[in-house]
Structure formats: C-alpha cells, structure tokens
Chain A
C-alpha cells in the first residue's frame, strides 16, 4: 500500500506502537516517516508528501499544536490526527480550530485505534 504516513511523537516507544498498528493495516514500514518533535514534523512536511499526519501534543523543541498551526499556515492540507494524552475538551477544540482534522486520546484500545486509522485512510477494516 502506497499510503504515506508521518508519525510525530517524542517517545520512541509510542512511535513503535503506532507504527505497529499502521503496519497491521497493510501500510509498508518504508512508507512511514518518523519525527520526534513539532519542528521535525514541519521539516518533513515541507520536504515530502503524506496522506496522513499523526501528531502528539507535548513534545520538546516545538509542541504538536504549534506544528499543526505552522503546517496549516504554509497552506498544506494533509489530514492531521492528534494522538495525545491531552484529554480536556478545551484542547480538542483548540486542535480543531488550529487545523487538526481528528483527535485521538491516549490511552487507546488497539482495535479502536486501528478502526480510526482505517477510517482516516479510507482503508477497509
């Protein structure tokens, strides 16, 4: 599957968990790019094309929410799903207002996460 996904999380372990679920949906590991903070995410988005961006919120260097704002300010319309432990409604509202298309709160059940990913990528699940 040629779907390209950018996984942004400062936790290497959490990136592995997310990538595991993406590969279960048939996405090739070679089509998954990792970024460890918001700035790296912006750099990756500027350098390549993705079908989906999965974005953590709390990260060093640049927060995920600031990366979302910067990506949208650049005119990029790639779907962005926040994947974060920030669970307050005010944060969900802020993320959507800033340009995120979807919001998933950690912790999540693997099956629900896969369903959400499949929905976002329009993959039969």
Chain B
C-alpha cells in the first residue's frame, strides 16, 4: 500500500513511504516476512500499544525526532525468533528486548538515510531503548507535536510504528 491520496498526503506521504521501504527491507532480508501497511493516522502524542516498545531517537542539524515500534509480546517473540533462526519457545526475554531494539535500529538506520538525503544534513541515531510490560508507559518523549502512526500487518498480526520529527 503506497500513500497517494490527498488526505493521506497531509501525513507526509514521502515519509510514510520511506518508513515502509525501511520496514520492508529489514523484514524481507532479516526476517523473511512480508509486512503490509494496514493504516496510517495522525496523533498528537506517543501512545504505546502492546507489551513491547522499541524506541530510537533521531537527531541532527536538520531537526530531531523519534521512532518507536510497539507490538505484542507474542509477535515480538515471533520476529526475534525469525531473526535468530530459532523456535519461538527458545527466545529469552532478554533476547526479545535486545532483538526488537536491533530491528528498530535497522529500520531507523535506513530511515536516517531518507532524512539525510532529503535535508542534505547529517543525522545521528540514539541507541535503542526497549520498554516492556503490559500497559507500559513511556515518559520523556516529545509531546504536543504531530506523530504519524502506521499500523502494519505481518502474518495475521499487527504492530505499530509511531514517528515524530521536528525540523529546524
């Protein structure tokens, strides 16, 4: 699903497409699964969903922002199991968090190229922060600025990517 309609373009179609290209590259190459964009919407603040959130900050001369992948523990286990090439039952809690941080890092790494090329400015990524637990909350993230919320399907399940970016 590519962003094309006028309503969707208000959510920055270029950015949404860049996120999906990044997600698709990571999921195809490292996890051997095909992610499909199910929905795109806007939000004012970051709202974690599911049991696990992997968060990465993006900062540089052109602005700053963050990207978070939020998903249920079951799907996180499935994705990390695919990354490791093991059965889901063999994924340790520490591996699940570490693996989701690495997946978020790879997605954001590709996304950083998009930001750098678009602004012709250099950006850096923070190390991933992974927070887990049902109903977990995240503090200290940018508030009051627009977030893009992508719902992405993968093998009958869904996860969310939330992204905000404030240019300078």
Please give the residue numbers on chain A whose beta carbons come within 8 Å of chain B beta carbons, in ascending order.
10-14, 16-17, 20, 58-60, 84-88, 90, 105-109
22 A-B pairs, CB-CB below 8 angstroms?
A11-B102, A12-B95, A12-B98, A13-B83, A13-B84, A13-B98, A13-B99, A16-B84, A16-B95, A17-B85, A20-B84, A84-B109, A85-B105, A85-B108, A86-B109, A87-B112, A88-B122, A90-B122, A105-B109, A106-B30, A106-B109, A107-B26
Interface residues of B in 96-148 (CB under 8 A from A): 98-99, 101-102, 105-106, 108-110, 112-113, 116, 122, 125, 127
Cβ-based interface call for B39 (8 A): no
B residues neighboring A (CB under 8 Å): 25-26, 29-30, 80, 83-85, 94-95, 98-99, 101-102, 105-106, 108-110, 112-113, 116, 122, 125, 127
Distance, CA A41 to CA B80, complexed state (A): 25
Q: Which of A10, A14, A16, A108 contacts B29 (CB 8 A)?
A: A108
Report whether over half of chain B's contact residues are helix, strand or loop; otherwise say mixed. Answer: helix
A10 and B137 alpha carbons, distance in the complex (Å): 25
Question: Shortest Cβ distance from A82 into chain B, in angstroms?
Answer: 12
Do B127 and A88 have beta carbons less than 8 Å apart? Answer: no
Within 8 Å by CB of B113, from A16, A17, A88, A108, lies A88
Q: State whether A17 and B29 are in contact (beta carbons under 8 Å apart), knowing that A58-B127, A88-B112 are contacts in the complex.
A: no
Residues in B whose Cβ lies below 8 Å from that of A10: 127
A107 and B25: CB pair below 8 A? yes
**A13, A87, A105, A108: residue with the most chain B Cβ atoms closer than 10 Å:** A13
Would A107 and B98 be within 8 Å (CB), given that A85-B105, A85-B108, A88-B116 are in contact? no
Select from chain A the residue with minimum beta-carbon distance to B122. A90
Assembled-state Cα–Cα distance A87/B25 (Å): 13
